[in-house]
Structure 1
Amino acid sequence: MLQRNALIVTTLTCMFHIMRGELGCSPNETLQNVPSCPMSRKEIMEAALRLNCQEICKDNRYMYHCLPDNKMEHFFELCAPKVFIIGRRCAEYNWDGNKIQANRYNTRADCSNHTNPCPYVYNSTEAYKYQECFPRPSTNKGSKTKETELNISTAVLSGIIISIVLINGGVLSCLLRVYVCKNCTQQMTNVEENIPMSQKEDLDFEV
């Protein structure tokens, strides 16, 4: 009986915190789309000092959060009361509901099988601890950049090789012509040397 009552109290407390998760501050003041979220306690503290939620919202309940959207493709930092994330799910900022909650619709948001699995219940301000809930789109971009650089390098190398081949081909062609001309000249000289003197005089006379 006591265990049942304790479970009811815990559930009601969680629901209360979830209901309080709706933003009281204007999103225009706190909500920002960011390329990535802080991934360590130190980075979280630095970002919290920068955003200064308590000063903006005039309420100590409002804490710094940085969370993905329900598609886990975009990241948002904002000030909001901390809530419990229940069900071994990644936390999300829900744009339509304008609140922080467990991501229950994305198959990737099941963090029970992650390398660092999340507990059944955890605080939204501790979401950064479960980093597989924060896909890094900058990784694919970096891969594409490296692939582009590789393609450019390959093209440049190919151009250099073709240039070398063409230059060497031209040099070889010139050398071959010089060699042929030299042989022709040598052959003509040999022919003239082999002509008898009397025939040379007849040839000169005919000319």
Structure 2
Amino acid sequence: MIRHRNLVALSRSVLCLLFYGEVSAFTGCQKSILTVRHVASCPTDAKSWGEAAKKLNCDSVTQNCALSLGLNTQKHRFQYHCLVNSHRNATVEVCALNRLILGFCAEFDITAAVVQENYNADCKTHNPPCPKFYDSAEAYKYQSCYELVRAQGKPRTQKLARDPAPKSYRLRSSSNSLIGSSLMLTLSTVILFLF
């Protein structure tokens, strides 16, 4: 009986590890940085999102980010995003790999060149709430997430290669990418400990 429970727990742990690895444990695509444009606001619906995507023309950017990271190219596409930056002081349009966001507002970390969750913005509590899982390329559906920038004051609109944020902010935002690695290491240790 105990052996069966351990096997069930191990199976669940492995599934969580595989799922989390597919969702979160990839690094950024440096080609994304070349496409960053600061904008006053992001599209509010599918039609305006599509129009903005055509203008940015992510298909014209030569890259192989998903392949080089070993990701499924059908699930992870290099495509248009309009998100809050990781410093919450601007909205940016960017071509980036889409990914599954886990119930938080999506943000783009320019330093790490990655779309990620903003763990300080749980949008499941917003009105309307975001679901537990959503595609980062559908962030326009969760307009309350853009309030993070509006709450900081007037957003910047100039085009910058990188955010001129203090080093402490860069370390905080880059640490979100490290959370996935830490969690995966912890889960691996737990699995090994069970046997």
For the superposition of Structure 1 and Structure 2, which TM-score range results when normalised by the shorter chain? Answer: 0.5 to 0.7
Retained in 2: the 8 A contact 1:14–1:84? no
RMSD: 2.9
The partner residue of 1:23 within 13, 23, 29 is 29
Identity %: 34
Equivalent residue for 2:58? 53
Map of 1:72 onto structure 2: 88
Q: Who wins on radius of gyration, i.e. which is larger?
A: 1
| Higher normalized contact order (CA 8 Å, seq sep 6+, divided by chain length) | 2
Return the match for 2:110 from 95, 103, 109: 95
Letter in 1 for 2:104: R
Could you tell me which residue of structure 1 aligns to residue 150 of structure 2? 137
**Match for residue 128 of structure 2 among 113, 116, 126:** 116
Whole-angstrom distance in 2 between the partners of 1:67 and 1:44: 12
Task: Give the number of aligned pairs.
Answer: 136
Q: Which amino acid aligns with 2:31?
A: C
For 1:77, what is the secondary structure of its paired residue? strand
Shift of 1:26: 5.0
The one-letter amino acid paired with 1:137 is R
Q: Residues 79-109 of structure 1, C-alpha deviation per residue, up to 9 Å, x if partnerless?
A: 11111111x21001112322110001x3xx1
Q: Give the deviation of 1:66 after TM superposition.
A: 0.6
Deviation at 1:11, TM superposition (A): 4.5
1:24-74 Cα shifts (integer Å, max 9, x gaps): 41512x111111111110011111111111121355721100100234321
Which one-letter code corresponds to 1:95 in the other structure?
Answer: I
Are the structure 2 counterparts of residues 23 and 58 from structure 1 closer, same or farther at C-alpha, using a change threshold of 3 Å? closer
Contact 2:32 2:113 (8 Å CA) reproduced: no
Runs of 4+ in 1 over 6 A off after TM superposition: 1-4
Following the alignment from structure 1 to structure 2, what is the Cα–Cα distance between the partners of residues 27 and 131?
24
Q: In the aligned structure 1, how far is the partner of 2:43 from the partner of 2:123? A: 19
Q: CA deviation at 1:7?
A: 6.9
- Unaligned 5+ segments in structure 1 are 142-207
Deviation at 1:15, TM superposition (A): 2.3
What pairs with 1:1-207 in structure 2 (closer than 5 Å)? 5=11, 8-9=14-15, 11-20=17-26, 22-25=28-31, 27-28=33-34, 30-58=35-63, 61-86=77-102, 88-104=103-119, 106=120, 109-135=121-147, 137=150
Query: Structure 1 or 2: larger helix share?
Result: 1
SS in 1 for 2:61: helix
In structure 2, the partner of 1:201 is: none
Q: 1:94 to 1:115 in 2, by over 3 A?
A: same
